Amino acid sequence: MPVNWEAFDQEIDEAITDAAAAADKRLMERMASLTHMTEEELLQLFPEPADWKRLSKLMAIVKSSQSKNEKINHIVNNAEELGDVIVTLLDRLA
């Protein structure tokens, strides 16, 4: 029986979309468990998974055992990457 490649491609695309959605859900649940925000609040602030990676990096710096000055230096050295996350969080607090 011949393979319907168009249908197969569609099945692959659907599987990829479903897997990505499931992974995003697990990541968001984990992020919410590490913050004082709900999943909904986090999704409002950071709708893209790439934002979650930057938020995670910022959280790792802030929660590290480094001195305050070392944390500040680390944030400054990564300001271009973390700047939008910092502004988003501060905007929520203001």
pLDDT cut 70: percent of the chain above it: 100
- 31, 52 contact by CB (below 8 A): yes
* Domain range for 82: 5-93
The token pair at 36 is: 């004082």
Domain count, the chain: 1
pLDDT 10s digits, 33-72: 878 888 888 888 888 878 888 998 999 999 999 999 999 9
* Residue 60: closest CA among 82, 27, 93, 83: 82
Tell me the angle at which helices 49-62 and 68-77 cross, rounded to the nearest 10 degrees. Answer: 150
pLDDT given for residue 68 in this prediction: 95
The answer to whether 82 and 52 have CB atoms below 8 angstroms apart is no
How many CA atoms lie within 13 Å of 25's alpha carbon, on the beta-carbon side?
6
